Amino acid sequence: MAKAKGTIGILTGGGDVPGLNPAIRAVTIRAIREGYRVLGIRRGWAGLVDLVRDKEADNSENVQVLTEEVVNRAGRTGGTFIHSSRTRPSHLPKMVLPAHLVDTYTEEINDVTPEILKNIEFLGLNYLIPIGGDDTLSYGHRLHEEGVKVVAIPKTMDNDVPGTDYCIGFGTCVTRTIEFTHTLRTAAGSNERFLVIEVFGRYAGFTALLPTMAGAADRCIIPENPFDSEHLTELLVHDRNRNPSKYAVVLVSEGATMVHEDSFTYKSEEKDQYGHKKLGGIGDRVAQDLKKYSPKFDNGRRTNVVSQRLGYLVRCGNPDAMDSIVPMAFGNLALDLILEQSFGRLVSLRKGKYDNVPIELVTGKKKVVDVGKYYNTDRLRPFYKSFRDKPTFIMTSDD
Concatenating the DSSP letter of every residue in 114-170 gives: HHHHHHHHHHT-SEEEEEE-HHHHHHHHHHHHTT--BEEEEB-TT---TT-S--BTH
Cβ neighbours of 258 (radius 10 Å): 18
- Whether residues 157 and 209 fall in one domain: no
Q: How far apart are CA 368 and CA 162, in angstroms?
A: 9
Residue 395 placed within a domain: no
How much is the pLDDT for 395? 80
Residue 230 placed within a domain: yes
Q: How far apart are CA 158 and CA 368, in angstroms?
A: 10
- Whether residues 339 and 308 fall in one domain: no
Q: Is the pLDDT of residue 141 over 90?
A: yes
Residue 299 placed within a domain: yes
- Whether residues 296 and 341 fall in one domain: no
How much is the pLDDT for 282? 94
Average pLDDT value for residue range 271-299: 85
pLDDT in tens, 162-188: 999 999 999 999 999 999 999 999 999
Contacts of 371 (CB under 8 A, 6+ apart): 222, 224, 225, 377
- Whether residues 176 and 162 fall in one domain: no
Q: Is 158 a catalytic residue?
A: yes
Q: How many domains does the chain divide into?
A: 2
Q: How far apart are CA 167 and CA 347, in angstroms?
A: 10
Q: What one-letter code names the amino acid at 164?
A: T
The one catalytic residue in 16, 134, 135, 158 is: 158
pLDDT in tens, 325-360: 999 999 999 999 999 999 999 999 998 899 999 999
Residues of the domain holding 116 = 7-168+318-363
Instruction: Give how far Cα 314 sits from Cα of 55, 170, 199, 212, Å.
Output: 41, 10, 9, 16
Return the bridge partners of 110, or none: 92
β-strands 353-358, 381-382 pairing? unpaired
Residue 1 placed within a domain: no
Contacts of 45 (CB under 8 A, 6+ apart): 11, 13, 85, 87, 88, 89, 116, 130, 136, 139
Residue 241 placed within a domain: yes
Give strand ranges (E) for 37-102: 37-41, 63-65, 92-93
Residue 389 placed within a domain: no
- Whether residues 191 and 295 fall in one domain: yes
- Whether residues 149 and 178 fall in one domain: no
Q: What one-letter code names the amino acid at 283?
A: G
pLDDT band at 278 (very low <50, low <70, confident <90, very high): low
- Whether residues 161 and 258 fall in one domain: no
pLDDT in tens, 62-114: 999 999 999 998 988 899 999 999 999 999 999 999 999 999 999 999 999 99
How much is the pLDDT for 260? 81
- Whether residues 330 and 352 fall in one domain: yes
pLDDT band at 392 (very low <50, low <70, confident <90, very high): confident
- Whether residues 331 and 204 fall in one domain: no
Residue 125 placed within a domain: yes
Residue 126 placed within a domain: yes
- Whether residues 139 and 26 fall in one domain: yes
Instruction: Calculate what percentage of the chain has a pLDDT beyond 70.
Output: 94
Exposure of 388 by Cβ count < 10 A (0-12 exposed, 13-18 middle, 19+ buried)?
A: exposed
Write the CATH number for 260: 3.40.50.460
β-strands 127-132, 219-221 pairing? unpaired
First to last CA, the chain: 50
- Whether residues 77 and 108 fall in one domain: yes
- Whether residues 297 and 339 fall in one domain: no
